[in-house]
């Protein structure tokens, strides 16, 4: 029961907090692409890979009291902050920890901007293409973001770093 | 004349209960409708197992695909000569609208979960592979199939084109809400689509709505919200969906453990193995699936035959509200009690959650999370819908989620009243014997 929720709870238990829904979306996608077996389905959206299933599961976990969501008013938008609760920790005790340690991955990603994680996840979405085509695809589908060659290079290094953990 | 510009000598029309008529004038569209891959959609129901709850819900993905095409056709007719709209994208939009659901399989939601498949991958494979659809598209121009596939995959460079078929207020949703309401017979799914089409405006990378059209959009959002809870998320449909998933799990498990089926499930073998080829995928539709379910009712395996009997004859599981937080200990006890009672809990004790559904309702979300519905104000500025609409604000701010526990109550009732196991199960489930 709720095995996929339990996996997400393991994610939250590996960090103090996650700031931003966009960041959360991209982090789970990038972890999936690092062979961490999250089951949420992703599709390509305006801002890169996005999972409606993940959004719904997060809502369920908030309603069940496993995580807290704090809405913060920013200049022109809202931002959300997520933290695990004691109920969440109790819930997780009923499940075997079947994911590898995620602390280092999360720390690395938390240190990056959501714009950068959008780039990384977009590149991973097109990973089946040859490397030079991936850059071209990013410039096409993310033209409004104005990513530079340097950022793409940095993103490749970041992907390599993440995949070399463990 | 180039194939892409060819028109039929006379306009063809499909009589449609939702849009009255679906109009086809382009030769390419007509040829696409005639392909075997598109005709196959007649054998895939739009609402999967909902027909077991709403007996009218027998409409197919074929109906819906034509409907989405017709809505896009009307939208781009309104866009003609407007800034940001490129008429050269017309055929691409129409083709993508028509073909957007091409990769759906039988009861696709459960199939995809159990066999870990994604219908979007098959949509791409049909459009780009060795198929009749591909041949038609390739005749338009080399590379045209890839463009259509990219629009459906939402990775096409022109985001405006993508947003017509896939966004928070797109032709896909506008068709299925109205069509599903019509065929289920409920009164919730109706909204003034004509008004919405009139106030839609093309922008550089998205479709927006003129602020004066806000009330029509509010109606659409309300309809989406109500259809979600009243139709898509109906607990009885979820019961049928639970049983369907369990049938597929059981058949796969039996196959993996070397069980000798009376009728060799040859259409399923590649699904069990996890890698159906395109040809094998296309060969399995709902008629074939239901044939196997009928046959499997005679199987020796009591779980498979019972589940198939339940699905075919609508002997569904009953449900109770369930809170996985406060009732975790009860669930663990029930799991043991069900085993003791001879009911395999992996098949007869199932928690189903709202996140298991492939539908959603409108949420404005966070900056950069997901593109919301934008209203175009008289000063040409864009504002997110819920910032201007109190109705939408109040709906989208609420997080309503739901978990239910599904059980075969009939099997429990058959047990002797003297059974302590039964007493305890009933006590946990209903607070009484």
Structure confidence at residue B317 (pLDDT): 98
pLDDT tens-digit map of B402-420: 899 999 999 999 999 999 9
Mutating which of B118, B367, B373, B399 best tests the A interface, going by the most A Cβ atoms within 10 A? B367
- In whole angstroms, what is the distance from residue A29 CA to residue A54 CA? 10
What is the average pLDDT across B347-351?
97
Strand partners, B383: B375
Q: Does A38 touch chain B (CB under 8 A)?
A: no
pLDDT tens-digit map of B118-171: 999 999 999 999 999 999 999 999 999 999 999 999 999 999 999 999 999 999
Structure confidence at residue B432 (pLDDT): 62
**Pairing outcome for strands B374-376 and B207-210:** parallel
Which residue is associated with the tokens 């959650």?
B353
Strand partners, A74: none
Strand partners, B374: B384
Contact at CB, A53 and B355, closer than 8 angstroms: yes
Instruction: Say yes or no to pLDDT of B433 above 60.
Output: no
Instruction: Say yes or no to pLDDT of B245 above 70.
Output: yes
What is the average pLDDT across B78-94?
95
- In whole angstroms, what is the distance from residue B87 CA to residue B163 CA? 16
C-alpha distance across the termini of chain B, in Å: 78
What is the average pLDDT across B382-400?
84
What is the average pLDDT across B52-65?
97
DSSP state for residue B212 in the 8-state scheme: G
DSSP state for residue A112 in the 8-state scheme: S
Option in A45, A66, A114 nearest B370 (CB): A45
pLDDT tens-digit map of B280-314: 999 999 999 999 999 999 999 999 999 999 999 99
Option in A45, A63, A94 nearest B371 (CB): A45
ipTM confidence? 0.88
Q: Are B194 and B188 in contact (CB under 8 A)?
A: no
Structure confidence at residue B395 (pLDDT): 82
- Which backbone phi and psi does B103 adopt, to 5 degrees? -90, 5
Contact at CB, A77 and B366, closer than 8 angstroms: yes
Determine the length of chain B.
Answer: 433
pLDDT tens-digit map of B13-37: 999 999 999 999 999 999 999 999 9
Helix (H) or strand (E) holding B412: helix B409-414
What is the average pLDDT across B225-251?
94
C-alpha B150 chain-centroid distance: 20
Helix (H, G, I), strand (E, B) or coil at B21: strand
Q: Does the B3-233 domain belong in CATH 3.40.50.1700?
A: no
- In whole angstroms, what is the distance from residue B313 CA to residue B180 CA? 23
Instruction: Say yes or no to pLDDT of A98 above 90.
Output: no
Contact at CB, B399 and A63, closer than 8 angstroms: yes
| Sheet arrangement for strand B374-376 | B200-202, B207-210, B374-376, B382-384
Q: Does A21 touch chain B (CB under 8 A)?
A: yes
Structure confidence at residue B387 (pLDDT): 87
Structure confidence at residue A165 (pLDDT): 87
Contact at CB, A60 and B354, closer than 8 angstroms: yes
pLDDT tens-digit map of A16-54: 999 999 999 999 999 999 999 999 999 999 899 999 999
DSSP-based helix, strand, coil % in chain A, nearest 5 = 55, 15, 30
Which residue is associated with the tokens 């890839």?
B146
Instruction: Say yes or no to pLDDT of A141 above 90.
Output: no
- In whole angstroms, what is the distance from residue B433 CA to residue B297 CA? 31
Tokens of B5: 């510009």
CB pairs under 8 A between A and B: 93
- Which backbone phi and psi does A70 adopt, to 5 degrees? -115, 125
- In whole angstroms, what is the distance from residue A124 CA to residue A106 CA? 17
Per-residue 3-state assignment (H helix, E strand, C coil) for A50-82: ECHHHHHHHHHHHHCCCEEEEEEECCCCEEEEE
A165/chain B closest Cα distance in angstroms: 27
- In whole angstroms, what is the distance from residue B217 CA to residue B375 CA? 10
C-alpha B53 chain-centroid distance: 16
| Side-chain-side CA neighbours of residue B365 (13 Å) | 25
Angle between helix axes B144-152 and B132-140 (nearest 10 degrees) is 110
User: DSSP assignment of B53-113, as one string?
Assistant: TSTT---BHHHHHHHHHHHHHHHHHHHTT-TT--GGGHHHHHHHHHHTTTT--TTHHHHHH
- In whole angstroms, what is the distance from residue B42 CA to residue B313 CA? 23
- In whole angstroms, what is the distance from residue B369 CA to residue A54 CA? 12
For the entire predicted model, the pTM comes to 0.93
Per-residue 3-state assignment (H helix, E strand, C coil) for B148-188: HHHHHCCCCCCHHHHHHHCCCCCHHHHHHHHHHHHHHCCCC
A45 contacts in chain B (CB < 8 Å) = 154, 370-371
Domain ranges of chain B: 3-233, 242-356+402-430
Q: Are B119 and B105 in contact (CB under 8 A)?
A: yes
What is the average pLDDT across B169-193?
94
Structure confidence at residue B360 (pLDDT): 72
Q: Are A22 and A114 in contact (CB under 8 A)?
A: yes
**Fold entry, domain B242-356+402-430:** Growth Hormone; Chain: A; (1.20.1250)
Helix (H, G, I), strand (E, B) or coil at A119: helix
Mean pLDDT of chain A: 91
- In whole angstroms, what is the distance from residue B261 CA to residue B335 CA? 28
Distances (CA, A) of A157 to A100, A120, A131, A145, A163: 22, 10, 13, 20, 10
DSSP state for residue B355 in the 8-state scheme: G
A104/chain B closest Cα distance in angstroms: 24
Structure confidence at residue A110 (pLDDT): 92
Tokens of B354: 């709202």
Instruction: Say yes or no to pLDDT of B324 above 80.
Output: yes
What is the average pLDDT across B202-207?
93
Identify the closest residue of chain A to B154 by CA–CA distance.
A44
pLDDT tens-digit map of A142-155: 888 889 999 999 99
């Amino acid at each position: 029961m709720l095995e996929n929720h339990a996996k997400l709870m393991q994610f939250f238990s590996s960090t103090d907090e996650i700031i931003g829904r966009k960041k959360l979306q991209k982090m789970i996608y990038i972890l999936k692409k690092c062979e961490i077996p999250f089951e949420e389905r992703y599709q390509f959206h305006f801002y890169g890979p996005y999972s409606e299933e993940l959004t719904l599961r997060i809502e369920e976990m908030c309603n069940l009291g496993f995580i807290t969501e704090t809405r913060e008013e920013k200049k022109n938008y809202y931002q959300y902050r997520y933290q695990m609760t004691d109920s969440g920790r109790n819930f997780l005790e009923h499940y075997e920890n079947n994911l590898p340690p995620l602390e280092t991955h999360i720390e690395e990603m938390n240190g990056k901007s959501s714009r950068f994680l959008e780039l990384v996840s977009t590149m991973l979405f097109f990973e089946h293409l040859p490397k030079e085509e991936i850059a071209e695809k990013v410039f096409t589908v993310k033209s409004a973001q104005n990513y530079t060659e340097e950022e793409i290079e940095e993103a490749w290094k970041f992907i390599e770093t993440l995949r070399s953990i463990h | 004349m180039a194939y892409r510009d060819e028109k039929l000598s006379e306009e063809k029309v499909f009589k449609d209960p939702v849009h009255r008529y679906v109009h086809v004038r382009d030769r390419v569209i007509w040829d696409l409708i005639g392909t075997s891959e598109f005709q196959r959609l007649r054998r895939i129901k739009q609402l999967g197992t909902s027909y077991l709850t709403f007996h009218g819900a027998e409409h197919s993905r074929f109906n819906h695909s034509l409907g989405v095409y017709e809505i896009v056709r009307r939208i781009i007719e309104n866009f003609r000569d407007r800034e940001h709209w490129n008429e050269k994208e017309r055929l691409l939009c129409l083709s993508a609208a028509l073909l957007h659901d091409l990769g759906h399989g039988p009861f696709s939601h459960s199939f995809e979960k159990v066999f870990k498949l994604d219908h979007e991958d098959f949509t791409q494979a049909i459009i780009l592979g060795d198929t009749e659809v591909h041949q038609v598209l390739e005749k338009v121009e080399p590379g045209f199939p890839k463009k259509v596939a990219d629009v459906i995959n939402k990775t096409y460079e022109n985001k405006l084109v993508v947003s017509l078929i896939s966004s928070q207020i797109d032709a896909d949703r506008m068709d299925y809400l109205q069509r599903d309401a019509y065929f289920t017979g409920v009164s919730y799914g109706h909204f003034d689509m004509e008004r919405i089409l009139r106030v839609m405006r093309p922008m550089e990378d998205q479709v927006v709505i003129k602020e004066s059209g806000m009330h029509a959009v509010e109606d659409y959002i309300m309809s989406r919200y109500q259809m979600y809870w009243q139709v898509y998320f109906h607990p009885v449909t979820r019961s049928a969906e639970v049983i369907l998933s369990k049938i597929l799990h059981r058949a796969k498990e039996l196959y993996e453990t070397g069980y000798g089926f009376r009728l060799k499930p040859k259409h399923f073998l590649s699904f069990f193995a996890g890698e159906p080829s395109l040809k094998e995928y296309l060969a399995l539709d709902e008629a074939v699936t239901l044939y196997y379910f009928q046959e499997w009712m005679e199987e020796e395996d009591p779980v498979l035959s019972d589940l198939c009997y339940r699905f075919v004859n609508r002997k569904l599981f009953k449900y109770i509200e369930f809170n996985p937080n406060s009732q975790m200990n009860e669930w663990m006890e029930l799991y043991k009690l069900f085993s003791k009672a001879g009911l395999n809990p992996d098949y007869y004790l199932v928690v189903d959650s709202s996140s298991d559904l492939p539908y959603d309702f409108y949420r404005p979300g966070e900056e950069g999370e997901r593109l919301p519905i934008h209203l175009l104000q008289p000063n040409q500025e864009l504002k997110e819908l819920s910032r201007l609409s109190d109705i939408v604000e109040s709906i989208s701010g609420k997080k309503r989620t739901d978990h239910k526990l599904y059980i075969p109550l009939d099997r429990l009732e058959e047990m002797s009243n003297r059974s302590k196991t039964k007493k305890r199960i009933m006590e946990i489930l209903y607070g009484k014997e």
